[in-house]
Structure 1
């Protein structure tokens, strides 16, 4: 009996020690967090600072965010200015291991083929323009492999002894994603060549991945609400070009796209821009499954 009790204590303490050694990974968004969990599995504890239903452009920094980053072994950001609010968090955390340029800092956009990189002068008169390019790159599922590879390499730098473990998980994730992409493209074959209206430039990578195109936007410029004139011009364009789909995000006011849809006879779909945007979207694969099922209802 004593032996069994000692064995039980040994197992408890062994598990506790293993959990204590798990790398603390902090990400800015749920999408990056989901991929990090696939790569790190039980060797990581992953925390996302932004919930999937929030607009990641505009986040109110909390003291608790700084505490989380202060304890992190690895900080992963989307980059390209989407999560610029992380800079004061990094400063406030006072964790030299995750400062920009440190081994424990990763900009997940590294290696991404960027869309909509502006040319010429960029200033606030153009709206919420990202000078380095459109930051919503995770919505092209093929970019998920690039994000995963970046995370694998950074985890391996922080914890070299687990390099092979992270590499195996990356290969498993990549294989699963490759198979899913084939299936998703088959399901959305009808979507190829489709012209749509989107609220914001969120969907550029998604549309390109599945062969569709955004003809215009509800916003008059990125981050700038539609004027009455723009609204009327948009409705006229939809009717003239026989555009039958408007896509918006759950964190924008639904009333304006609903009004446009009602006036133009186009259909409106509220798609999920991130993991966790809706309760049933638990991981990166669920994100595409949800959006594709919504589009299949057209």
Structure 2
């Protein structure tokens, strides 16, 4: 069963979908999830919700402020801390619903939001279990690898000029990806990403827009989960990575995983998969979703029993 929900985050209306297993009564363990760079709630999250629902775990997917159906005057602006605050306000909304077990709340994130949930694991005490898929863990290192030395210097020059332009109220925009990345210098210089998200927009996520403010890329350069990892001690954390991920980089992700001191953690490596295959290949999506569902089933059921 799917139900449209609305709640407020810092004065703006957030729109989400609550996926509840059919035929269930009473409060259930609930996972809260949002997407990555320029995503709307229709990308990947419904597939995770469907598989989690088989284990009687309901899922709340939402659009960040400025994206999809949600409000917010500054459209397509990606402020990671504002997005993390949207997650936290979603937690407050969820814990007040009669159909939600407030003692069994989890968070799911993929790509950029995969990093967000690692930060949430450090700062949000109401969440008990976390699944981080293909996370961005260090924006500067990630973008420098993605663009290469020469193009990265050009990107830095562009971001500096945009900073000057914003002083005069003339901030620019940047494509998420493109078919000609050396010419266009999008945030993510991968033609495959453009092709995959074009199909997603046509088939699953009509409100997806393939651009962001240029300032969003500047904020990505200053983004890192590493200062927060030592604080993840009494939390249940699963990280799912792909062996062929050349975007968010498996070695950076595994380094982040190894720095989490919590003994209750699990690392799953998807063989012969890449970053984009989790969006373009439903088999890879379903495998990741099944790992996530099993983790939430075991960890949140334990939370219910000990509450």
- TM class, shorter-length: 0.3 to 0.5
Give 1 or 2: higher strand fraction.
2
TM-score (norm: length of structure 2): 0.33
Give 1 or 2: higher helix fraction.
1
Instruction: Please say which structure displays the higher CA radius of gyration.
Output: 1
TM-score (norm: length of structure 1): 0.34
